[in-house]
Amino acid sequence: MSTPLRRRSNNNNNNSLNGNHTNGNGTNLMEIKKTNGIANGDGGKNKAPCMTWTARDVAYVARHHWIPCLFAVGVLFFTGVEYTLQMVPPSSQPFDIGFVATRSLHRVLANSPDLNTVLAALNTVFVAMQTTYIVWAWLMEGRPRPTISACFMFTCRGLLGYSTQLPLPQEFLGSGVDFPVGNVSFFLFYSGHVAGSMIASLDMRRMQRFRLAMVFDILNVLQSIRLLGTRGHYTIDLAVGLGAGILFDSLAGKYEEMTKRHSLTNGFSLVSKDDSLVN
């Protein structure tokens, strides 16, 4: 059960923030409040909820709803940061905290080209694993949701990546065996590596393939660290890629539900006749 946004009194006669309640005699408490308001000369207008809060109510919210309270503190903190942070001048490279955190890894890879090549090849193998699973789910298992998610995701990535083209970091360590293979140009924003892996991982969880999903998540974290170390992506690319995977997986699920409701009986289906669109 969800925790109410306000503490309840011991006699359970206090009304919550939402909804109407009755007292022990079955009388609607909201009607009582309105009547009392008219009697008190305020024209029947109730006080704003915050005007009725006590110190115990505030303590209750802080104790039982600490997650939104923590985010509220974050809003205040970053509001201060936004008003005091000095912007990076146009002549400088973008500041990236992920690049700062992976300086030592970048030095190792810069001094060991062979190691960089091996890690790049492993990354390409991981991308092939993602692609194989996503296509397999559709063609062999009759579940097109991961494929639809990937199509949505990569199309949106192409539009955004072309609309605002971020500069390639000066310290970028490329490799001919990295994906995209051959050191060809690619969109930085957002990370298709991370988003594709997230789409596959979410589908694995729906199918209760939890161990395989955990393997993909671990590999996703490792590839993210490598991408920061090689300066192949900015931190924001990876963070948005994670969110994009979740978003487009959800949109693909809604698309499946919509097509299931409105599909024609004799029309062509992306799934096998024995399988349901929604898992």
Residues 238, 189: contact at Cβ < 8 Å? no
**Contacts of residue 114, Cβ cutoff 8 Å, sequence gap at least 6:** none
Active-site entry in 178, 193, 203, 249: 193
Report residue 22: phi and psi, to 5°. Answer: -115, 155
Active-site entry in 106, 178, 203, 237: 237
Active-site entry in 106, 203, 233, 249: 233
- 275 in active site: no
User: Phi/psi class of residue 233: alpha, beta or left (left: φ > 0; alpha: ψ in -120 to 50)?
Assistant: beta
- 65 in active site: no
Q: Is 160 exposed, middle or buried (0-12, 13-18, 19+ CB in 10 A)?
A: middle
Query: How is residue 70 written in tokens?
Result: 């923590």
Residues 247, 157: contact at Cβ < 8 Å? no
Largest CA distance in the chain: 84
Side chain identity at residue 61, one-letter code: V
Residue 274: strand, helix, or coil: coil
- 106 in active site: no
What does the alpha-carbon distance between residue 59 and residue 14 come to, in Å, rounded to a whole number?
17
Residues 277, 257: contact at Cβ < 8 Å? yes
List active site positions: 193, 233, 237
